[in-house]
Amino acid sequence: MAELSSSDPSARRTVLVVGAHGFLGGFIVASLRGRGWRVLNGVRGARADGDERMVDLSRMLSAESWRATLVDVDGVVNVSGILRETGRQSFETIHVAAPIALASACVEAGINTFVQVSALGIAADGGFIESKHRFDERLLALPLRAVVLRPSVVYAVSGSYGGTSLLRALAAFPLFSLLPGDGRWAIQPVAAEDLAALVADAVEGDQRGVYEVGGPQPVTLRHYQSAWRRWLRISGDGILAVPEFLVSAQVWLGERLGRGPVGETMWRMLRRGNVTDIDACPRLLRDFGRVPRGLEEMLATQPSQVQDRWQAQLYFLAPLLRFSIVTLWLLSALAGWFAPVATIEALAQGSAMQGWPLTALARTTGILDFLLAGWLASGWQPRWAIALMATSVLTYTAAFGLLLPALWLEPLGGLAKNLVILPALALAWVLAERR
């Protein structure tokens, strides 16, 4: 298939990208559109207008459920996936059942091109890899042209996600880099831009089968981290190795809590080494006419900016800030519940609030503070919780600042502390959007 020109709308063909709003999906969409393709973003909560199609992998488990989605589609790219199971989103459903239904619907609709972005590893690494590879095998058995790309660690110079965000943050630690274990493990990092270009090549080409994708040669995790620290222009070249058992304990806890960027599967993959077969790059060069560029080459294409350092160095501060806010609200709740009645009433002596039911107000606001702390700690819709916290602080500050002005001059800060709490809440609101 010849490369299409974006200047000729009549020649444009249409590709559905499932998982288009994910980290890698965005690069794939940009690469395809740059070559003149019309891209339909397969996402949950699709808008009625624009190039979006409603896709819910937890529900679309039959070929029939995909028929409307595939109308006027010429090819499909599947880049969807989950790192851990939650609720209806299981590996079996998201990585196997729904994609099989999609691929079967493609066969029925006469769509001959299906590109699957899988992952490099072995089934023993865990359910994530096992389920991905099981679908790969079933896809290749169907009567259509299927290309499966299995990348090693994927990074981007212009941004990061999940485990790559964590690695950047470890590299950007003040004074020295934090290194999981001794960093001896080999990886073969590939730039998201290069992987996206290979996906676009696969959509347009005649390749078939499985291709492992990695940089031109393996590098150790220690080398990878050092390269990012130099690129971020952070002083200090010391390295602090974190014992493996401590990292394993953190990964184990995060897996049980359903949180954290690195699950047990990723941790096993890293320690085993995540590198391609020796013939992977020659095969890519032969069949695609290109191979991914090396890490240093990619980093040299774009200098780091202050925003990159902010993102890396705020990574650990964001959860610390949230923990501090939750703790403060819990302490405020306890103060509201257990402060002596005499102490509360003494605050209003000689003020416009004298005679008000302040004790009842303190107990009630204590309940509100406790509920808001629990909400933010749960991680569900954190921005709403933070917005309500800010609203309550503004309300307290305005009301007590006018009616009890002496609180502004209390020796331990009183209302003056709110001048710091409000911007801290604003920062937490911004940092709540983390991927």
Please say if the pLDDT value at position 7 is more than 80: no
Give the closest residue to 274 by CA, choosing from 199, 195, 213, 318.
213
In the chain, CATH 3.40.50.720 covers: 9-315
Confidence of residue 434 (pLDDT cuts 50, 70, 90): low
Q: Are 75 and 111 in contact (CB under 8 A)?
A: yes
- Class of the CATH domain delimited by 9-315: alpha beta
For the record, the structure tokens of 256 come out as 């049980």
Q: Are 276 and 120 in contact (CB under 8 A)?
A: yes
Give the closest residue to 193 by CA, choosing from 18, 26, 2, 75.
26
Q: What is the pLDDT of residues 237-256, one digit of tens each?
A: 888 898 989 988 988 888 87
Give φ, ψ of 385 to 5 degrees.
-60, -45
What mean pLDDT comes out for the span 321-341?
Answer: 93
Please say if the pLDDT value at position 214 is more than 50: yes
User: Where does residue 39 rank: exposed (0-12), middle (13-18), buried (19+ CB within 10 A)?
Assistant: buried
Tell me the C-alpha to C-alpha distance, in Å, between residue 39 and each of 75, 89, 128, 203.
10, 25, 27, 12
Q: Are 79 and 17 in contact (CB under 8 A)?
A: yes
For the record, the structure tokens of 383 come out as 């921005």
- The helix/strand/coil state of 191 is strand
Q: Are 147 and 112 in contact (CB under 8 A)?
A: no
pLDDT of 342: 83
- Say what percent of the chain tops pLDDT 70: 95
Report which secondary-structure segment, H or E, holds 375: helix 358-378
Residue with tokens 């954290």: 260
CA dihedral 412, 415, 416, 420 (to 10 degrees): 110
Q: What is the pLDDT of residues 72-102, one digit of tens each?
A: 999 999 999 988 888 888 999 999 999 999 9
For the record, the structure tokens of 17 come out as 């990208």
- Cβ atoms within 10 Å, residue 207: 20
pLDDT of 261: 73
- Cβ atoms within 10 Å, residue 104: 18
